A = this chain, B = another copy of it.
Amino acid sequence: MRSAVVLLSGGLDSATVLAIAREAGWRCHALSIDYGQRHRVELEAAARVASALGAAEHRIVPLDLRIFGGSALTDAAIAVPTAPAEGIPVTYVPARNTIFLALALAYAEVTQSEAIFTGANAIDYSGYPDCRPEYLAAFAQLANLATKRAVEGFPISIEAPIVRMTKAEIVRKGAALGVDFSLTVSCYNADRDARACGSCDACRFRREGFALAGIPDPTRYRR
């Protein structure tokens, strides 16, 4: 059975990606990063999702990005916006996906994995530059020059199966594969009990996705 690393945030998108990878027959090594994110309950969600969807293992790497700050998700002094705004929002975390994919690449090398799956999405998203297909293609180029394993003839692919899907398509796909979305947490402001605020970007995209997909939204909102 071929192995893959799956980046798992605990949200709806990466849960669907894990289900897609499992359905395609991959042995999945799930990877989450404890980066000091405001919405840390997503890590507990990631553990539940990894277990429910049959990941072979799940590792959580501690890497406190609050040392750099520069984002509403890693600096308590910057508030999470509750309304849409122009441009890339302050929830952008500097170089986050580059750091996460680099860690996934290390994990892929030691597990002799042939692919890294990411839940990056460039349709119903916040405009983060490191979610775009051209960015992911550049990472694939890099990855195949970076490792001993690649140089020795075992290339790695970067799989982004939902990158061009709308949120409604992702919801439908996940539902069809049996993802229990009630286990997932998307909200940037989720409380300790994993209840969502309903108004941040992540909540907005998620709620619209369920509505447009015509699938009941299992999210527990605070109000």
Chain A residues at the B interface, C-beta cutoff of 8 Å:
59, 61-65, 67-70, 88, 92-99, 101-103, 105-107, 109-110, 128-130, 132, 134-135, 138-139, 141-143, 145-148, 150-152
Contact = CB atoms under 8 A, between A and B. Distances in A.
Contact of A146 (B63, B107, B130): B130
Contact of A141 (B69, B97, B107, B141): B141
Copies of this chain present in the complex amount to 2
Given A65-B106, A141-B138, A146 B88 contact: no
Contacts of A93: 106
Given A68-B110, A98-B102, A110-B69, A142 B145 contact: no
A141 B138 CA distance: 7
A103 B101 CA distance: 12
Contact of A145 (B64, B65, B102, B129): B129
